C-alpha cells in the first residue's frame, strides 16, 4: 500500500487523504451531537486505544462483551475517519462513544451548541514522539518518518498528521466549556489505573462497585489488553500495519523517550517545549 499525501485541513493542521477523504470531513462537519454523547479526544499516540477500551467498559458497567466482540475502531469510531460514514451512527443508542483527534477550534457547530461530554487525554510529548515515530514506521499509509532527527524536526514544527502536539494540547486546555471536559494524563493512568477508572466513571455519572472498577482496570492493564484481538490491531492486514516492524500496543510505558533520545535531542526538545508551553498553567505529571 502506498503512502498517502498530507494536506492542510485547517490552519497548520494536516490530515491524510486516504484515512480522511473530503466526504468524511464533510460528514463530520454536518454531524449532530447529543448531550449524552461521550467524546474521547487525543493527540495521536496519547492513549486513544486505551480509552476506547476503558470507556465502553465503564458504560457497560464491566460487561466485557463490547470490547471482546467489536473492534475498537467500530466500538468507538473516529468521527473524522472514512469508516464513520458507514456505521449508521445516527441510529446508535445513547450514550454513543466517539473519538477524535481534532484540535478544539476544528470541532463542528453542533459540538459548540450541544457541548457533549469530553475526555481529553494528554501524554508526555517526548513519549508521544517516540510512539509516533514507531507508528510512522509500521503504518504504510503514513509518510515514512526518516531518521529520528528528521522526524523530530517535523514533530516540533507540527508538519505531521494532526499538526502540532503543542497547539492541540493548548487548544483543548483553553476550551471555554471546561465543565464538560475531564482532563486526564496517560502517566496518571499508568500510575493508578483504578483511580482513573473511578474518575472517568464519576465524570460519566456511573456509580461502579469496587469489584467492577477492579475488573475494568484488570482487563485494561497493558499486558491483558494487548491480548484482545479486538483492540490490538491484529485484525488489520499487514499491508496497512506491519506489526513485525513495530507492534501497535508497543510498550505502554512512561519515559521510553529516555531509551531513545540523545542529549542533543533532549536539549532541542526541551527548548521548544519551554518556549511553546511557557503560558500554560496546567500541572502535568511529567514536568
The answer to whether residue 82 is catalytic is no
Q: Which residues of 34-71 are buried (b: 16+ CB within 10 A; e: fewer)?
A: eeebbbbbbbebbbbbbbbbbbbbbbeebeeebbeeeb
What is the enclosing helix (H) or strand (E) of 181?
strand 181-185
Write down the least CB distance from residue 54 to ligand A3P, Å: 8
In DSSP terms, 182 is beta-bridged to: 119
Rounded to whole angstroms, how far apart are CA atoms 170 and 84? 27
Cis peptide before 95 (omega within 30 of 0): yes
Q: Which stretch binds ligand A3P (CB under 6 A): 3-11, 43-51, 164-172, 203-211?
A: 43-51
Binding ligand A3P by CB under 6 A: which of 117, 167, 252, 269?
A: 252
Q: Which stretch binds ligand A3P (CB under 6 A): 5-13, 28-36, 126-134, 235-243?
A: 126-134
Q: Which stretch binds ligand A3P (CB under 6 A): 7-15, 16-24, 44-52, 154-162?
A: 44-52
Residue numbers 49-68 binding ligand A3P by CB under 6 A? 49-50
Instruction: Say which DSSP state 145 is in.
Output: -
Q: Is 131 in the site for ligand A3P (CB under 6 A)?
A: yes
Widest CA span of the chain, in angstroms? 52
Q: Is 47 in the site for ligand A3P (CB under 6 A)?
A: yes
Q: Which stretch binds ligand A3P (CB under 6 A): 15-23, 104-112, 219-227, 279-287?
A: 219-227
Angle at 213 between CA 79 and CA 205, to 5 degrees: 55
Q: Are 80 and 161 in contact (CB under 8 A)?
A: no
Grid cell at residue 116: 457533549
From 10, 82, 101, 260, the catalytic residue: 101
Write down the least CB distance from residue 222 to ligand A3P, Å: 4
**Nearer to ligand A3P by C-beta: 100 or 171?**
100
Write down the least CB distance from residue 50 to ligand A3P, Å: 4
**Nearer to ligand A3P by C-beta: 82 or 226?**
226
- What are residue 168's phi and psi, to 5 degrees? -60, -55
Binding ligand A3P by CB under 6 A: which of 170, 251, 260, 268?
A: 251
Cis peptide before 255 (omega within 30 of 0): no
**Nearer to ligand A3P by C-beta: 44 or 66?**
44
**Nearer to ligand A3P by C-beta: 100 or 115?**
100
Residue numbers 221-240 binding ligand A3P by CB under 6 A? 222, 225
Write down the least CB distance from residue 91 to ligand A3P, Å: 26
Rounded to whole angstroms, how far apart are CA atoms 153 and 121? 24
Grid cell at residue 215: 475488573
Reduced to 3 states (helix: H, G, I; strand: E, B; else coil), residue 161 is strand
Rounded to whole angstroms, how far apart are CA atoms 40 and 118? 6
Q: Which stretch binds ligand A3P (CB under 6 A): 4-12, 25-33, 220-228, 233-241?
A: 220-228
Residue numbers at the binding site for ligand A3P (CB under 6 A): 42, 44-50, 127, 131, 134, 220, 222, 225, 249-252, 256
Active site amino acids: 101
Amino acid at each position: 500500500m502506498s503512502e498517502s499525501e498530507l494536506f492542510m485541513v485547517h490552519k497548520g493542521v494536516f490530515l491524510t487523504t486516504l484515512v480522511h477523504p473530503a466526504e468524511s470531513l464533510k460528514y463530520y462537519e454536518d454531524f449532530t451531537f447529543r448531550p449524552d454523547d461521550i467524546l474521547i479526544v487525543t493527540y495521536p499516540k496519547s492513549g486513544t486505544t486505551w480509552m476506547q477500551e476503558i470507556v465502553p467498559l465503564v458504560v457497560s458497567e464491566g460487561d466485557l462483551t463490547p470490547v471482546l466482540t467489536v473492534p475498537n475502531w467500530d466500538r468507538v469510531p473516529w468521527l473524522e475517519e472514512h469508516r464513520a460514514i458507514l456505521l449508521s451512527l445516527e441510529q446508535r443508542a445513547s450514550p454513543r462513544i466517539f473519538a477524535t483527534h481534532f484540535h478544539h477550534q476544528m470541532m463542528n457547530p453542533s459540538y459548540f451548541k450541544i457541548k457533549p461530554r469530553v475526555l481529553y487525554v494528554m501524554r508526555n510529548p517526548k513519549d508521544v514522539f517516540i510512539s509516533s515515530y514507531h507508528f510512522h514506521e509500521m503504518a504504510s499509509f503514513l509518510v515514512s518518518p526518516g531518521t529520528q532527527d528528521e522526524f523530530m524536526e517535523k514533530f516540533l514544527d507540527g508538519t505531521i498528521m494532526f499538526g502540532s502536539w503543542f497547539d492541540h494540547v493548548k487548544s483543548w486546555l483553553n476550551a471555554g466549556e471546561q465543565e464538560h471536559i475531564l482532563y486526564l494524563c496517560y502517566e496518571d493512568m499508568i500510575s493508578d489505573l483504578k483511580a482513573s477508572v473511578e474518575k472517568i466513571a464519576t465524570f460519566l455519572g456511573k456509580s461502579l462497585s469496587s469489584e467492577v472498577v477492579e475488573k475494568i482496570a484488570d482487563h485494561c492493564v497493558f499486558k491483558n489488553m494487548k491480548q484482545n484481538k479486538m483492540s490490538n490491531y491484529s485484525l488489520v492486514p499487514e499491508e496497512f500495519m506491519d506489526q513485525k516492524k513495530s507492534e501497535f500496543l508497543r510498550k505502554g510505558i512512561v519515559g521510553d523517550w529516555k531509551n531513545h533520545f540523545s542529549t542533543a535531542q533532549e536539549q532541542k526538545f526541551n527548548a521548544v517545549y519551554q518556549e511553546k508551553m511557557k503560558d500554560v498553567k496546567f500541572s502535568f505529571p511529567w514536568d
